[in-house]
Amino acid sequence: MTVTRRIVLTFPANLVEDTAIYHLIKDYDLIVNILRAKIIPKEGGRIVLELRGKVENIKKGVNFLESKGIGVKSLAQDIQLNEDRCVSCGMCMAVCHQKALSLNPVSWKIEFNRDDCILCEQCVTVCPLKVIQVSF
């Protein structure tokens, strides 16, 4: 079965020049889409990646990355919307091109669909109450 997964890779300083992504494509037959990347030579880096392929290939690919020492987390763990403090004003929706943030048409509460988020962080800077935090 072909599926799509979004993950965040954390590269330690010694692996910044590693060609891991090439191997994901070549060895594990995965379609790779880099959604966001921030790499600083000698310091480390992070990549937001979309992987498309067979479930078992994605699993094997992720194991391969981890075996090299690259941290792998699902996107959801990196972004937090503090629902207790959020007032559902809707200002974040203006900048969310992925439509990951939306107002529920019945409750009028902001809903955050993590699967659609690409961690662009636009909402983080726009939120007037600073209730959205990303650790990227």
128 binds another protein (CB under 8 A): yes
87 binds another protein (CB under 8 A): yes
39 three-state secondary structure: strand
41 binds another protein (CB under 8 A): no
Q: How far apart are CA 14 and CA 128, in angstroms?
A: 38
Pick the piece of the chain touching another protein (CB under 8 A) from 30-38, 43-51, 62-70, 121-129.
121-129
132-134 and 79-81 beta bridge pairing: antiparallel
91 binds another protein (CB under 8 A): yes
88 binds another protein (CB under 8 A): yes
Return the residue of 130, 133, 134, 135 that touches another protein, per CB under 8 A: 130
89 binds another protein (CB under 8 A): yes
134 binds another protein (CB under 8 A): no
How many residues interact with another protein (rule CB under 8 A)? 19
56 three-state secondary structure: helix
Task: Tell me the one-letter amino acid at 20.
Answer: A
109 binds another protein (CB under 8 A): yes
DSSP 66-134: HHHT-EEEEGGGGEEE-TTT-----GGGGG-TT--EEE-TTT--EEE-GGG-----HHHHH-TT--EEE
31-40 and 44-54 beta bridge pairing: antiparallel
105 binds another protein (CB under 8 A): yes
- Which residues are at the interface with another protein (CB under 8 A)? 87-91, 93-95, 103, 105, 107-110, 125-126, 128-130
